[in-house]
Structure 1
Amino acid sequence: MPSQPHIDLAYIPQHIVQRGNDGQPGFFVEADCQRFANAGLRSVTRPPCGANENWPLSQNSTHARKCTLTPVLRHGDSPVRRTSVRGFVAFTLCVASTHLLAGAPPREVAYLSAAKKIEMRMADGQLTGKMPRRTEPDAKRWLAVLSDARSVLGDAPYGEEDMGALMGVCGKANEIAVRYMLAGAERLKPLVADTAELSRKLRELTQSNSYTYQDELAGLFAFNVACEARAIVPLSARLASFKPEELTPVRREGAMQARTGLFQIISGVILGAGDAKISLDNRLLTLRALADNIRPLASALPETMRSVLAQAALAGREQIDGKLRPTLDEVVDGLTRHSACTGICAL
């Protein structure tokens, strides 16, 4: 069940709860619970506040656990919650690994190092109201690493054994993009009791930030497109290998959510190509990333979804800048080519 909207308060303890659905166990085995915990706790930097861990049994779920964490680095609990859920969902799909950096290639270590540096700068910026900008030498260098999909992800296909590190890198890129999108959200704290107004203001804020920080976000978005594409083949192959009884509701739901997310990513890039408030260079960057990765992305979508996306692209083709049309045509071509519907697509 989705949680109610809330604002994270720095240094204020919050409960992060994972319960089972309809009274079912929240985790298949105890090791699952521990993996879920570790994924979240790894995202917490202990000094200066630390993390208070508490794992009692929940009253309405046999194996659910509750964790009380003290948010640090002026972040609040959202990065912890997202990291826990993302890591555990990857595990239920049987593609997560236990240690992100253990034995990771140097390119992944360099990526996560750059991510850590820019996150620290972002944390400091929450006090001053200043986010890292590409016009600053350090931030420019870090963002260049965080946006370099070819160097970080490479061209070789990913296998199931690589998915833990891949999800960690991709998740980090997404977290940083979200922080740019939500820059200034602390100003909305007085609206916490008015969920309708808070939601409206958050939409306005993210829309405004998408333009303000477009030079920082474009590369991160392009990187995320490449990340999602790298994950499709191993995830689909793994799902296709499951026996019918192994396709649990949790796995099905996770796969369908992933498919919906892919649809939203593709549609967002297509619609963004016609947004004149975004610079031509930034639109071309994200559209180029989509065109380069459209075949694996489209392979995860059923024909109905691909058709809707192709029609949307064609409908806006004449309204976008002529320099973007050849790249958009590549996207349409990738969406309309026939491909077998297996794995994520078939669920």
Structure 2
Amino acid sequence: MSRRFFLLFAASFAVAAAPAGAQEFTPYLQASKTLMAMRELPRLKDPIGPALLDILGDNQTFLDKRPFTADDMSPLMEVCGVANKISVSYMLHGLDKGLAGVDKNDMQAAARAMQAVAMRNVFEYQDELAILMPFTLRCQARMAPLMEDFLRKLPPEELTDIRKGGVHQIQNGAFGSYSGYLTMITGSGIKDANLRRMSGTMAEVAPAYASIMQLAQRRQLHELAAATKAKAPAALAGDLEKVIQAMASDSCNALCSVQ
């Protein structure tokens, strides 16, 4: 019995009474709990690493089997949150050491230290992140139309400052994902296969992410993507063109319009 099959088989007993919408995500959530309970972040070279990461990067099983509806919003949001937490745990691994000696009251210094840790880990854990990050990105892309539908139907008086703040965090997160991607692909040290996988995913989900962002954010990324295309590897030109086209859209839905 393969490790992947064992993990899926064991997970199937975890929440037998769960609603159908949530139960289909049980193997993913169980695998995530296994990962988060490990003392060290699993690597592809570890005995259990490949099977565990295979589940956590399996968008075909967990994200592509069927269209999602409003009833799926809560369980899908949980999965997306867990996926993001796992990706961040790799990207910010060793953050405490990276912040040692940094004045935590100096927000700019702390941000620079955090960015340095993240960039170092992008290279160190690139094989693992090339599996995990596409799932995280696609999960958020599946959430976008559900969130837009929720906001569009929400009575204006229920769009509270707290909800607006949550939308702003989502918008800024989407913007940060693309600005980080556009910075990364012009650097060195990322394997070609990993770069193509990440870039292909960013191109695929660009329309969904663009729909989240405010128009001003899209314009910034449109300019950055156009400038990046001129100096990026030729193999990524097609992906970058898709990002440029997505960010050129001036359509603004209920998500985009939250200021």
Query: Bigger radius of gyration, 1 or 2?
Result: 1
Alignment partner for residue 102 of structure 1, among 4, 11, 18? 18
Across the aligned residues of Structure 1 and Structure 2, the Cα RMSD in angstroms comes to 2.5
* Paired residue type of 2:18: A
**Taking CA–CA contacts closer than 8 Å with sequence separation of 6 or more, which of the two structures ends up with the larger relative contact order?**
2
The one of 218, 221, 225 aligned to 1:313: 225
Structural mapping, 1:242-261, within 5 Å: 242-261=154-173
Q: CA deviation at 1:283?
A: 1.6
More helix by share: 2
Counterparts of 1:200 and 1:240, CA distance in 2 = 37
The answer to whether 1:241 aligns with 2:153 is yes
- What 5-or-longer segments of structure 1 have no aligned partner? 1-98, 126-130
User: CA shift at 1:188, angstroms?
Assistant: 6.0
Q: For residue 39 of structure 1, what is the aligned residue in structure 2?
A: none
Percent identity (aligned): 29
Structure 1 position 281 matched with structure 2 position 197:
no
Report the CA distance shift for 1:160/1:188 in structure 2 as closer, same or farther (over 3 A). same
Number of equivalences: 240
Tell me how far apart the structure 2 counterparts of residues 343 and 135 of structure 1 sit (CA, whole Å): 44
- Alpha-carbon spacing, 1:260–1:155, altered in 2? closer, same or farther (3 Å): farther
In the alignment, is residue 345 of structure 1 matched against residue 256 of structure 2? Answer: yes
In structure 1, give the amino acid aligned to 2:29.
L
What's the counterpart of residue 298 of structure 1?
210
Are the equivalent residues in 2 in contact too, given 1:118–1:139 (CA < 8 A)? no
Q: Structure 1 residues 198 and 304 mapped into 2: Cα distance closer, same or farther (>3 Å)?
A: closer
Q: TM-score, normalised by structure 2?
A: 0.82
Query: 2:28 maps to what in 1?
Result: 111
Aligned position for 1:157: 67
Find the partner of 2:131 among 176, 201, 219: 219
TM-superposed CA distance for 1:289, in Å, is 1.0
In the alignment, the residues of structure 1 paired with residue 159 and residue 206 of structure 2 have an alpha-carbon distance, to the nearest angstrom, of 27
- 2:164 and 2:245 map into 1 onto residues whose CA distance is 29
TM-score (norm: length of structure 1): 0.63
DSSP 3-state at the match of 2:217: helix
Runs of 4+ in 1 over 6 A off after TM superposition: none
Q: Quote the Cα distance in structure 2 between the aligned partners of 1:172 and 1:231.
A: 14
For structure 2, the residue ranges without an aligned partner over 5 or more in a row are 1-14
Note the C-alpha offset of 1:105: 5.3
**8 Å contact kept, 1:273–1:284:** no
What do the CA deviations read for 1:147-178 (whole angstroms, capped 9, x no partner)?
Answer: 12222112533222211111111111111122
Tell me the CA shift for residue 213 of structure 1.
0.8
**Letter of the 1:255 counterpart:** V
Equivalent AA in structure 1 for residue 241 of structure 2? D
